[in-house]
Amino acid sequence: MTTARRPVIWLARTVGASLWIGALIVVAAGAAEIWLRVQGDRESPVENGDPYGPFRVQHLHPQYQFFFPFEPEARIQLSNDVVHLTAEGFRGPGPAEAGDRRLAFLLGGSATFGDFASSDSTTITGYLNQLQDEYFFVNAGVPSWVSTQEMFRLAFELVKYAPALVVAYNGFNDGAVILEHAARGGGLSTVGAHESFLRLSAVIDDLKAGPTVPRYHFLPELRELFGLGNGDETWTDPLQVPIPEEVLAATVSQYLNNMDRMHDMTTAAGGRFAVVFQPIAGLHQRVPREFASWTRENDTLARFHRAVLAERSANLEFHDLAAVFDGYFDAVPVALEDGPHDEPIFRDVVHLSDWGNRLVAQRLVELLFSERT
């Protein structure tokens, strides 16, 4: 073999080896992606110890944008030992179970739905039905919902039941979604929209033009595993995004307009409507600062709460429970990883334990039915 041919052979062998290594990497990555997807399909949220996982999936709905599965039978099939869903999408017993009691609905997001509650009977509605016997409360909460969706559900579904009472237990999602939208480049154009609106828009905006397939669809499970995220979304740390006053003001206006519309619809049908601004850990003075740090690092929720209190209609029955637990405890028990192991009130920034749900229900009975109890 001549000396001149040796570099050529070496180069060919090197290129060949590189191609083989590249092919092996692609095959291994593909196999890993398939394995991760199979594992994700095999291990349901309930099997992973989270009975609430299936109810956080956001299915498209013609009126509510996102809801539980569209087919009633699929909603029932989501039920498990902790959470029971009716065909209509109510947690626990539905309106047909009211019997001789006057019908009432509790609307809201996941805190209303009862994330972290140990059973249907230990949600706020469950306790309301135990603490008084004049009204039968139906849990109409849906995880992640904002007040616009609550208003739609009242208009399209709940009014037909002619409820004697409708209570909107909310505030957190409408305030927090401002940060979610701002982090993804939203602003005035997305005021009143659900938290996932921009994610949906990034996938398909013009239906007739067909879906947009972002780059991150290539090996998405592996990308998520290594924290690579998706390359097509504009996203910034929400805590670092300043919220313009005009966006905050528009969000407050949208929220209060939704409450006024819900009031008008309910009263026009002969019922009573009340708004309850829900407890938020970061708006309490007696919650450990490290537990609710992000709600203090970014003051959007506090600004939203103050503006709602200042601008709400005098005709609106409004009960502020944003810091309700400060009146019960010198130090509000929370679920700190290195804290005491007694039952907390806050499981996270906005979701409550069974104990917290019971205290809220007791306070609501005092506020809503003080003349009757």
Q: Is the pLDDT of residue 278 over 90?
A: yes
The one-character DSSP state at 45 is T
> Is the separation of the CB atoms in 223 and 230 below 8 Å?
yes
Read off the pLDDT of residues 235-262 as tens digits, 9 standing for 90 and up. Answer: 566 666 789 999 999 999 999 999 999 9
pLDDT score at 46: 47
| Residue-level pLDDT at 231 | 47
% of the chain surpassing 70 pLDDT: 80
Query: How far, in Å, CA of 99 to CA of 135, rounded?
Result: 10
Q: Give the model's confidence band at 338: pLDDT under 50 very low, under 70 low, under 90 confident, else very high.
A: low
**For residue 325, which of 367, 298, 363 has the smallest C-alpha distance?**
363
Instruction: Check residues 44 and 309 and name the one with the higher pLDDT.
Output: 309
pLDDT tens-place string over residues 142-152: 999 999 999 99
The per-residue pLDDT of the chain, averaged, comes to 87
**One-letter amino acid for residue 231 of the chain:** G
Which residue in the block uniquely carries the two structure tokens 């619809």?
265
Q: What pLDDT does 47 receive?
A: 47
pLDDT of residue 351: 97
- Give the pLDDT confidence of 159-200 residue by residue, as tens digits: 999 999 999 999 999 999 999 898 888 889 899 999 999 888
Phi-psi domain of 41 (left: phi exceeds 0; alpha: psi -120 through 50; beta: other): alpha
State the pTM of this model. 0.83
Determine the Cα–Cα distance for residues 145 and 147; give it in Å rounded to an integer. 7
pLDDT value at 315 more than 90: yes
d(C-alpha 147, C-alpha 258), whole Å:
6
pLDDT tens-digit readout, 97-127: 999 999 999 999 999 999 999 999 999 999 9
Is residue 323 scored above 80 in pLDDT?
A: yes
Under a CB-based contact definition with an 8 Å cutoff, are residues 182 and 238 in contact?
Answer: yes
pLDDT score for 230: 52
Q: What is the pLDDT of residue 320?
A: 98
pLDDT value of residue 209: 75
**Is the per-residue pLDDT at 272 higher than 80?**
yes
N-term to C-term CA, the chain:
104
**How confident is the model over 5-60, as pLDDT tens digits?**
666 676 667 767 777 776 777 677 667 666 665 565 444 444 467 899 999 999 99
Task: Kindly state the tokens that stand for 236.
Answer: 């910034």
CA 143 – CA 181 distance, rounded (Å): 17
Of the listed ranges 64-68, 219-223, 247-251, 343-347, the one predicted with least confidence:
219-223
At residue 215, the pLDDT reads 47
pLDDT digits (tens, 9 = 90+) for 64-89: 999 999 999 999 999 999 999 999 99
